[in-house]
Amino acid sequence: MYPPKVLVTLLIAAGFVLSLSYCAPKEPAFQTILLPTSDGLTIKADVYEVVGGEAPVILLFHQARYSRGEYRSIAPHLNELGFTCLAIDQRSGDKIKGVSNDTYAQATKREMGTDYIDAYPDLELLLDHAKKTYPNQKIIIWGSSYSASLAIVLASQHPEDISALLTFSPGTYFNFKGKTIVDYARLVQCPVFMTCSLEEAASRREIFDAIPAASKTFFTPEFEGYHGSKALWPEQKGNEQYWEAVATFLDKYK
């Protein structure tokens, strides 16, 4: 038997450990799958699935020098809003949030292209996978920085497959098949959400204004803001403003 004072100390310590365990953040629930490309790579995709029903599906594409890890804290929140999410490693990227970009590593090892436009087939591959896997669900695409620009291309080329488009800091970073991103923006018919940092807003307006879609939203934060989807990370000051705008836009697709 422990003396009473020792026993009390042990119980307090045990309670402290339990409280730490209880308060520890949960790891996001997802399954990683492999998608073979037509040119011999294997793309990793994290699937954050809403259980039950036929939840709309959001395809998440990361920014430059990043990986699917960009969405480790974003996808679970989108699940809470009622959306199944798939996040991939595009071949133009690297590492973020402790998650290495496996597609980029494979492409580099094989001396294959890893420029922004080289990643476009990876976006098309995920769209094709989503169409086959979720044939009855609405498909929404979401891009960050360079992939936001590629997502505009994707939406313009697959209007029958895409219900909505969210773009975080798209830009005229490149031409694609002889056309500018503004040229592709003129072909987008689905509803569009666009946002960026405050500093970027004026230059992104050119792309936004070119979009003929009847339903489109341009969100500008009330503070300096951030480039790309990392604006939604919980550690970013003011992320709540971005989340409120995103949730409002997505609400009609639940």
Q: Which amino acid, residue 210?
A: A
In angstroms and rounded to an integer, the radius of gyration of the C-alpha atoms of the chain is 21
The stretches in the chain having pLDDT less than 70 are 1-28
Q: Which tokens hold the place of 5?
A: 């004072």
User: In angstroms, rounded to a whole number, what is the distance separating the alpha carbons of residues 177 and 180?
Assistant: 8
* Res 118: pLDDT: 98
**What number of other Cβ atoms are within 10 A of residue 137's Cβ?**
17
* Res 53: pLDDT: 77
* Res 23: pLDDT: 37
Is the Cβ–Cβ distance between 78 and 108 less than 8 Å? Answer: no
> Domain map of the chain by residue range?
28-253
User: In angstroms, rounded to a whole number, what is the distance separating the alpha carbons of residues 71 and 68?
Assistant: 6
Spatial CA neighbour of 195 closest among 246, 123, 252:
246
Spatial CA neighbour of 193 closest among 223, 219, 158, 169:
219
| pTM score of the predicted model | 0.89
* Res 28: pLDDT: 66
28-253 fold: Rossmann fold (3.40.50)
